[in-house]
Amino acid sequence: MQRYDAVIGGADREPVETMDVLDPSTGAPFATLAVSGADDIDAAVQAAHDAQPGWVATTPAARGRVLRRLAGLITEQREELAQLESRDTGKPLKQAFADVDVAARYFEFYAGAGEVLYGDTMVTSPDHFAYTLREPFGVTGHIVPWNYPLQIGARTVAPAIAAGNCSVLKPAEDAALGPVMLARLAREAGLPDGVLNVVPGYGAGAGAALAEHPGIAHLSFTGSNEIGTVVTRAAAANHVPVVLELGGKSPNIVFADADLDLAAPAITNAILQNAGQTCSAGSRLIVHRSVHAELVARLTERFAAVRIGAGLDDPDLGPLISAKQRDRVESLVAGAVDRGEGTLLHGGGPPDVLAGEGFFYQPTLIDDVDPGSMIAQQEVFGPVLVISTFDTDEEAVQVANGTDYGLIAAVWTANVARAHRMARDVRAGQIYVNTYGAGGGVELPFGGVKKSGHGREKGFEGLLGYTQLKSVVVRL
């Protein structure tokens, strides 16, 4: 089996410890991965620190050329990277190809954006000239999850290094092969040694060491609320700013005048993409009572037609990432059914045909759910859609805002005025009207409110977040 090592200072680092990498579609190992620890994090931070003065002195245009070469190499290796991402995460191959394409786009976008990172001038008085500079933090740390390892890895490090920072990326132990390949391609693209270091390992080991490292000047974390709190506390000890992209319980809000032909497939995809293992998954359906029966009938038919299978076979729905995650989803759904929190219309367990052959779970539809119940409030992180009804616009807003989360939301209506009112009143970082999800959305600022996190990634806002603003005043 091929071994994937940490990449530190441009070189593969011989691991002290390794772990098996399991294919979620079979549960069988197919590769080995380095398990990094505190010493490896120290080495990676030092390599980034050593590289940063030279990298920030490189012109933005020269930095952009390197990032464009990296984007080109990702595209050239599209087939290999997609196959690897699909096998590592279990996601259908078409979704893995989309992840590779978006990863390349991040480096392409920030290659250009980094070249137009300007400050401002200000008139303060006739005898003074004032201006601002945007400067990198120095060494940035990045902790990314297992659901989109390559795409989120690119999303977080591309703006950081475009702005002149040097980065240490810690991918999740459940899926880290894409980020390791990214570091190898960066080396091939001519990125100077130490600008991007990738250090896989367990959260309690490498992740904790990175979050609390005094050499880190900025930290980004994507993952659960629980671990986000731990990471924030660790970073606070060093007064390090943190960008958090955490969980979600994102709603599709469907009004009586909605185009159900448009809404039904989008709602289905919003919860089944990546087996529902997406922070921005559309895990709640809030539907007007008058169209509830028709929409639910359409969704039940669609859920029943879903093809389940191994990621490399490119089904509609692949497995969950691990047996642990499958068991968690199964427990949450079983608990909701036992407590009478809703009516199970479809799914509710692993498919019989694939039992024992991976970490599969059926697409699950739960109707008549009380918006205050646990299954409507808690992030399941699986292919589970819960359905509630409403009668008035005010009630729809109340239900939509009735969780601790606020990542994204979608409004389905033909009424333009209503769409804008809902966009104003629903608390979420992104609002979609008659569509759902970023669709790649590299250019769109992304992030949450409430317990979905703070700070913004993607777009030009994501680049600005990796800079510090300095004001300069000159007496004339």
* 3-state SS record for 85-101: HHHHHCCCHHHHHHHHH
Strands 139-144 and 166-171: parallel
Asked if 445 and 458 touch (Cβ cutoff 8 Å), the reply is yes
Q: What is the pLDDT of residues 217-258, one digit of tens each?
A: 999 999 999 999 999 999 999 999 999 999 999 999 999 999
Q: Which residues, in sequence order, are CB contacts of 232 under 8 Å at separation 6+?
A: 221, 242, 244
Over residues 300-322, mean pLDDT = 97
Verify whether residue 166 is a known catalytic residue: no
Q: Is the pLDDT of residue 353 over 80?
A: no
Tell me how far apart the alpha carbons of residues 240 and 235 are, in angstroms, rounded to a whole number: 5
pLDDT the model gives residue 45 = 98
- The pLDDT of 187-202, averaged and rounded, is 98
- Give 360-383 pLDDT, tens digit per residue: 999 999 999 999 999 999 999 999
Report pLDDT for 65: 98
CATH top-level class for 251-441? alpha beta
Residue 438 has pLDDT above 70, yes or no: no
Mean pLDDT for the chain overall: 96
Question: Tokens standing for 135?
Answer: 């400067």
- Lowest model confidence (mean pLDDT) among 46-50, 296-300, 350-354, 389-393: 350-354
- 353 Cβ contact partners less than 8 Å away, ≥ 6 residues apart: 308
Catalytic site includes residue 279 = yes
Instruction: Check 85, 173, 212, 245 and give the catalytic one.
Output: 245
pLDDT band at 194 (very low <50, low <70, confident <90, very high): very high
Report pLDDT for 226: 94
Fold classification of 2-246+452-475 is: Aldehyde Dehydrogenase; Chain A, domain 1 (3.40.605)
**DSSP-derived secondary structure for 374-424:** HHHHS---SSEEEEEEESSHHHHHHHHT-SS--SEEEEE-S-HHHHHHHHH
Q: If pLDDT is split at 50, 70 and 90, which confidence band does 71 have?
A: very high
| Domain residue ranges in the chain | 2-246+452-475, 251-441
- What per-residue confidence (pLDDT) applies to 123? 87
Angle value at C-alpha 177, between 171 and 181, nearest 5 degrees: 105
Amino acid at 118: Y
The answer on pLDDT for 78 being more than 90 is yes
Backbone angles phi, psi at 272, to 5 degrees: -95, -20
Reported confidence tier of residue 437, pLDDT bands at 50, 70, 90 = confident
Strands 343-346 and 364-367, by their bridges, are: antiparallel
So what's the pLDDT on residue 440?
57
Confidence at residue 439, expressed as pLDDT on a 0 to 100 scale: 54
Residue 171: CB partners within 8 Å, gap ≥ 6?
144, 146, 149, 153, 178, 179, 180, 198, 200
| Options 108, 279, 341, 379, the catalytic residue | 279
